[in-house]
Chains A and B, each alone.
Chain A
Amino acid sequence: MQNTLVIDLNRCVGCMGCNAACKMTNGVPIGNFWNKVLRIGPTPMYEGAEFPDVEWYYLPVQCQHCADPECVKVCPTQASHKAEDGTVQINKLKCIGCQFCVMACPYGVRYLNAEERVVEKCTLCEQQITQGELPQCVSQCVGLAKWFGDLDEDPSMKSFRGGYNTTLGETVRDFTDADVHTLVDVGNHPSFRYILRGKQWRGKE
Chain B
Amino acid sequence: MQPQWPLIIFTALIAWSMGIFATQAVLSLLGKGKKIQMPSLLCSFVVMVIGGVAVFFHLQHWERIFNGFGHITSGITQELIALVVVFVFMVVYFIMLRRSEDGFIAKWLSVAVIVVAATTDVVVAHSYMMPSRPAWDTFAWILAVVGNSCAAGPLAIAIISALKSDNSASLGLISVVGTGVNVATTVVYGLSLNGAIAQFDSLDYYFDPTVPTQKMVDVAATSASQSGLLWAGAVLVGAVLPLVMAVLARKTKGTPSVIVSTISLVAVLAGAVILRVVFYNMGFTVLTAF
A residues contacting B by CB (< 8 A) are: 14, 16, 33, 36-43, 56, 59, 61, 70, 73-78, 93-100, 103-109, 111-112, 117-118, 183-184, 186-188, 202-204
Contacts and interface: CB of A to CB of B under 8 A. Distances in A.
A183 B75 CA distance: 25
Interface of B: 1, 4, 58-62, 64-65, 67-71, 73-77, 127-128, 130-133, 201-210, 212, 216, 283, 285-290
Contact of B285 (A40, A42, A107, A202): A107
Contact of B76 (A56, A98, A112, A186): A98
B69 A184 contact: no
B283 A74 contact: no
Nearest to B74: A76
Nearest to B65: A96
Contacts of A40: 203-206
A73 B60 contact: no
Given A74-B74, A103-B1, A103-B133, A39 B209 contact: yes
Given A59-B203, A74-B75, A103 B61 contact: no
Contacts of B132: 70, 103-106, 186, 188
Nearest to B212: A39
Contacts of A43: 204-205
19 contacts: A39-B212, A56-B205, A59-B206, A73-B74, A74-B75, A74-B76, A76-B76, A77-B68, A94-B68, A95-B61, A95-B64, A98-B60, A103-B1, A106-B287, A107-B290, A108-B290, A111-B290, A184-B286, A186-B286
In the A-B complex, the 3 residue pairs with the closest CB atoms:
A97-B60, A117-B60, A186-B131
Contacts of B202: 202-203
Given A14-B209, A73-B73, A96-B60, A36 B289 contact: yes
A27 B132 CA distance: 27
A96 B205 contact: no
Classify the interface of chain B: helix, strand, loop or mixed: loop
Nearest to B64: A96
B71 A76 contact: yes
Contacts of A70: 130-132
B286 A77 contact: no
A77 B74 CA distance: 9
A13 B61 CA distance: 41
A111 B283 CA distance: 16
Contacts of B207: 38-39
B204 A108 contact: no
B203 A38 contact: yes
Given A33-B290, A61-B289, A117-B60, 4 more contacts: A36-B289, A104-B130, A105-B132, A106-B287
A100 B75 contact: yes
Most B CB contacts (10 A, CB to CB) among A16, A73, A98, A109 go to: A98
A202 B289 CA distance: 13
Contacts of A14: 209
B61 A117 contact: yes
B184 to A, nearest CB: 27
Contacts of A94: 64, 67-68
B57 to A, nearest CB: 11
Contacts of B70: 76-77
A148 to B, nearest CB: 21
A108 B289 contact: yes
Contacts of A98: 58-60, 76
A40 to B, nearest CB: 5
Contact of B69 (A96, A107, A117): A96
B74 A75 contact: yes
A96 B130 contact: no
B3 to A, nearest CB: 12
B202 to A, nearest CB: 7
B183 to A, nearest CB: 28
